[in-house]
Amino acid sequence: MSGDGGTTPSFPNASNDTTPASLARSGHMRRWAVPSATVGGFTTTGTGSQQRVGVAPATASVAGALTAADFAKLARLQVPVQRLVYVASTDLLSGAAMTANTWNDVDANHNFTVASTASVYLVAVNCQVKAISGATGAELASRAIIDAAGTPQTVQLGGAFCQNSGNGAIGGGAFYVTGLAAGTHTIKVQVYGNAAWTAYCRASAQANVEFLNIVIYELSA
């Protein structure tokens, strides 16, 4: 460049040839004239620059959009509060003879606290009770029962079928509970068979395949 002992570089058609290909070849950029146009709310000026033109924001209209009532519900949501975590660590049933057509306890009652009658509670029962039926086979089921000694609320969980002198496994499930009065409540899990059968829930000796876990979360208040 001039002033440093070198030569002044020349750019072919620097003042006239302003096509993108020519600009790329010459290694320099310059402002170029383009027609004025508006695209997507932007206006190109006569010097190749862009400016935002005043456009009033459109009013959104989306099918299924949240209403004011929906936002009010969201505002009431809280971080879930854990009210019960029970993990069986002992052998609850080990070759126990189950009476036909009767709900039998898998374990004793477990206490949990209700803070507000307006709260919604999520109850998750994760279990596997092994069953061995008699010669006639049996249909089996499990359920959770809340406040067994007071005003019981029962929820069916899982089921199984054992063929004649066969084996089966009864599982659990999850459900919501509302309307519980503030204070202490109980929950336990029961199993049922329509014929005599034998039950196993060895949460210590066979913890990987026979277990009972109960978790309760308070979702809102």
Q: How many domains does the chain have?
A: 2
Rounded mean pLDDT, 38-50: 46
Q: What percent of the chain has pLDDT over 90?
A: 45
Residue 129 has pLDDT above 80, yes or no: yes
Do 36 and 135 reside in the same domain of the chain? no
Residue 4 belongs to some domain of the structure: no
13: pLDDT strictly greater than 50: no
Mean pLDDT of the chain: 77
Tell me which of 57 and 96 has the higher pLDDT: 96
pLDDT one-digit tens code per residue, 182-193 = 999 999 999 999
* pLDDT confidence bin for 116, thresholds 50/70/90: confident
The reply to whether 196 and 115 lie within a common domain is yes
Q: What is the pLDDT of residue 49?
A: 43
Confidence check: pLDDT of 160 > 80: yes
* Mean pLDDT, rounded, for 62-73: 64
Q: Which residues pair with 192 in a beta bridge?
A: 141
Query: Same structural domain for residues 83 and 190?
Result: yes
Burial class (CB in 10 A: 0-12, 13-18, 19+), 191: buried
Instruction: Give the sheet arrangement for strand 50-52, strand by strand.
Output: 37-39, 42-44, 50-52
Whether 58 maps to a domain, the answer reads: no
What does the alpha-carbon distance between residue 117 and residue 145 come to, in Å, rounded to a whole number?
Answer: 18
Domain contains 189: yes
Q: Is 181 inside any structural domain?
A: yes
Q: What are the beta bridge partners of residue 195?
A: none
Among 59-73, 76-90, 96-110, 186-200, the range scoring the smallest mean pLDDT is 59-73
Answer whether residue 171 is part of any domain: yes
Same domain, 32 and 114: no
Domain containing 100: what range?
A: 79-220
**Number of neighbours of residue 144 by Cβ within 10 angstroms:** 23
SS (H, E, C) 13-26: CCCCCCCHHHHHHH
95 and 187 share a domain? yes
Q: What is the pLDDT of residue 79?
A: 73
In this structure, are 39 and 83 located in the same domain? no
pLDDT (0 to 100) of residue 201? 95
64 pLDDT band (50/70/90 cuts)?
A: low
Q: State how far the Cα of 57 lies from the Cα of 54, in Å rounded to an integer.
A: 9
Residues 93-111: what's their mean pLDDT?
Answer: 94
CB 29 within 8 A of CB 23: yes
- Same domain? 108 vs 208: yes
pLDDT at 16: 52
Give yes or no: residues 135 and 98 share one domain.
yes
Q: What is the DSSP string of the chain?
A: -TTTTS-----TTTTT---HHHHHHHT---------EEETTEEE-TTS-EEE---PPPPP--TTPPPHHHHHHHHHEEEEEEEEEEE--SEEEEEEEEPTTS-EESS--EEEEE--TT-EEEEEEEEEEEEEE-TT-EEEEEEEEESTTSS-EEEEEEEEEE-TT-EEEE--EEEEEE-PPSEEEEEEEEEEESS-EEEEEETTTTTTTSEEEEEEEEEE-
For residues 15 and 135, the model is more confident at: 135
Q: Is the pLDDT of residue 46 over 70?
A: no
Q: What is the model's pLDDT at position 75?
A: 64
Highest mean pLDDT pick, 16-30, 46-60, 185-199 = 185-199
106 plus 175 within the same structural domain: yes
| Arithmetic mean of pLDDT, 23-46 | 47
pLDDT, residue 73, reads 65
Closest CA to 139 of 199, 197, 212: 197
